[in-house]
């Protein structure tokens, strides 16, 4: 982010969102709504206002485990390094105004809008951590049942406990931790897909980190299958076993809490035990390795972009094997976990592919298409709208006078519209029914003459 900010060819809009989107490849019009920070560009992020602000709210960056002031910087490496005010928590006491030497506080700021024309779009909206329902495996009702992202914030040197591994309930070092894989994934009642092995590897990494805090700690990973398919991943998994991280192939049945000690009582079955005995364990902490799900912010964005989604809710690529970067709309490409669960290396590879695709498109100077596109006969069109409803590319509109109108840029010539048209008034150029008939007649004539 810092490098991008310093690049004179990159214009950044942070704390902003897209509010309108229209156009086609090479000529996309994007309206950006800039949300108010209530601080001006004079702010240098000195932090003097933080010290005098009496209003507090939970820190989103630290998963709500510690407070932040109503005026704050999101995190240490935020770009730009300028304060912003959370008006839902601010009490408008004026302390920040009085202490700011640069007079950078402005409570009268409003949303502003700017429109940009761009040639191409890279969608990189990322992912969210699956949030288990309250009570599932003790989540949300027991303090010491947390998710991997929360656990990572505990371990982070800039986290709420400056990197000390402690239990959330009493801030005491845990002597035993259970990591549960595939929470919310590979589950027909939640998310049927696997998160591409990311959950497995994050559990292994964090288990090793926990061991580095206390080598004598009992660390257990419960799993369905360990999916360590990346380069060097299997070796990393084997290395974790050497550090005495225990792996149990099981499904956890239930988790209860001892109200006195806050220890977690876990019931699970060891599927590798020939006797299939239900066993009871006690742990100081349980970490849920939850699945990757599409970013919540993307739902509103895609109402503007109109991209197709896969059955799992992630963005759909143009071709599952031959083109996993481009989308069904020319000029819009995908990068990272918006396309599906990915680890860091896969994300970087696809990001490079996305940038190459856009650079190739924009550097050519013109965009050429094969006119294998839908065409409509105005005279026979019934104006029923079935073709427009069937079109996955939103390339067809219905005009009361002219009938179905096809946008040659958005149309990809898939033929779905022709297959549903009750009057056969919409066809695919070069693939009309009479052309097939003539082709067949020609083939049969040649065969008979031979």
> What's the number of CA atoms in the CB half-sphere (13 Å) around residue 121?
25
Q: Tell me the H-state helices in 147-225.
A: 148-155, 198-213
Backbone phi and psi for residue 291, each to the nearest 5 degrees, phi listed first: -80, 165
What's this model's pTM, rounded to 2 decimal places?
0.86
The label of the residue with tokens 């408008």 reads: 92
List domains and CATH numbers for the chain. 2-119 (no CATH), 128-293 (3.50.50.60), 297-363 (no CATH), 374-438 (3.30.70.20)
CB 268 within 8 A of CB 281: yes
Q: Give SS3 for 443.
A: helix
Q: What pLDDT is stored for residue 306 in this prediction?
A: 87
* Dihedral angle computed from the Cα positions of residues 292, 140, 267 and 183, in that order, rounded to the nearest 10 degrees: -10
Tens digit of each residue's pLDDT, the chain (450 residues)? 888 888 999 999 999 999 999 988 889 999 999 999 999 999 999 999 999 999 999 999 999 999 999 999 998 889 999 999 999 999 999 999 999 999 999 999 999 999 999 999 999 999 999 999 999 999 999 999 999 999 999 999 999 999 999 999 999 999 999 999 999 999 999 999 999 889 999 999 999 999 999 999 999 999 999 999 889 999 999 999 999 999 999 889 899 999 999 999 999 987 777 776 788 999 999 999 999 999 988 888 998 998 989 989 999 998 888 899 999 888 999 999 999 999 999 999 999 999 999 999 888 878 887 788 999 998 999 999 999 999 988 899 999 999 999 988 888 888 999 999 999 899 888 877 677 777 788 888 888 887
The separation between the first and the last C-alpha atoms of the chain, rounded to the nearest angstrom, is 70
Helices then strands, counting H and E runs in the chain, come out as 11, 22
In angstroms, the Cα distances linking 384 to 28, 377, 396 are 30, 13, 12
b/e string for 337-361 if b means 16 or more Cβ within 10 A? bbbbbbbeebbeebbebbeebbeeb
Greatest alpha-carbon span in the chain: 98
Going by C-alpha positions, the residue among 150, 153, 147, 109 that lies closest to residue 130 is 147
CA–CA distance, 148 with 154 (Å, rounded to integer): 10
> Looking at residue 47, what is its pLDDT?
93
Judge whether 1 and 79 are in contact, CB under 8 Å. yes
Tracing tokens 């810092």 back to the chain, one arrives at 2
pLDDT of residue 278: 84
| DSSP 8-state assignment for residue 284 | S
CA dihedral for 53, 59, 62, 66, sign (positive or negative):
positive
**Cα-to-chain-centroid distance, residue 402:** 41
pLDDT value for 440:
84
318-324, long-range: CB < 8 A, 24+ apart: 324/350, 324/353
**C-beta atoms surrounding 331 within 10 Å:** 22
Closest to 82 in 3D by CA, of 52, 40, 36: 40
């Amino acid at each position: 982010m810092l490098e991008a900010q310093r690049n004179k060819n990159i214009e950044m809009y942070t704390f902003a969102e897209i509010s309108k989107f229209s156009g086609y490849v090479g000529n996309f019009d994007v309206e950006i709504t800039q949300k108010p920070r209530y601080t001006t560009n004079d702010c240098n992020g000195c932090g003097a206002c933080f010290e005098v602000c009496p209003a507090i709210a939970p820190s989103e960056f630290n998963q709500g485990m510690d407070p932040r002031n109503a005026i704050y910087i999101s995190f240490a490496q935020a770009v730009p390094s300028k304060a912003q005010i959370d008006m839902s928590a601010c009490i408008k006491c004026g302390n920040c105004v009085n202490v700011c030497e640069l007079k950078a506080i402005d409570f009268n700021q409003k949303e502003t809008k700017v429109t940009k024309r761009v040639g191409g779009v890279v969608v990189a909206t990322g992912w969210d951590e699956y949030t288990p329902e309250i009570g599932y495996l003790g989540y949300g009702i027991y303090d010491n049942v947390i998710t991997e992202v929360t656990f990572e914030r505990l371990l982070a040197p800039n986290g709420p406990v400056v990197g000390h591994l402690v239990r959330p309930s009493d801030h005491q070092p845990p002597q035993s931790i259970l990591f549960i894989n595939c929470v919310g994934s590979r589950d027909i009642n939640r998310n049927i897909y696997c998160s591409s092995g990311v959950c497995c590897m994050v559990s292994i990494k964090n288990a090793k980190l926990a061991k580095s805090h206390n080598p004598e700690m009992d660390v257990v990973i419960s799993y369905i299958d360990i999916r360590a398919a990346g380069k060097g991943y299997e070796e990393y998994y084997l290395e974790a076993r050497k550090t005495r991280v225990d792996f149990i192939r099981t499904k956890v049945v239930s988790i209860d809490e001892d109200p006195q000690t806050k220890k977690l009582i876990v019931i699970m079955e060891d599927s590798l035990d020939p006797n299939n005995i239900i066993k009871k364990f006690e742990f100081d902490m349980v970490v849920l390795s939850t699945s990757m799900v599409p970013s919540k912010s993307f739902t509103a964005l895609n109402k503007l972009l109109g991209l197709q989604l896969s059955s799992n809710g992630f963005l759909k690529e143009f071709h599952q094997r031959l083109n996993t970067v481009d989308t069904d709309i020319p000029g819009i490409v995908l990068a990272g976990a918006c396309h599906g669960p990915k680890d860091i290396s896969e994300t970087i590879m696809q990001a490079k592919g996305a940038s190459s695709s856009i650079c190739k498109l924009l550097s050519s100077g013109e965009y050429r298409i094969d006119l294998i596109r839908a065409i409509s006969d105005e005279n026979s069109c019934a104006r029923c709208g079935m073709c427009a409803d069937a079109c996955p590319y939103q390339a067809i509109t219905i005009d009361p006078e002219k009938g179905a109108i096809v946008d040659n840029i958005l149309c990809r010539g898939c033929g779905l519209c022709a297959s549903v048209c009750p009057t056969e008034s919409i066809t695919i150029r070069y693939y009309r029914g009479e052309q097939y008939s003539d082709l067949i007649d020609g083939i049969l004539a040649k065969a008979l003459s031979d």
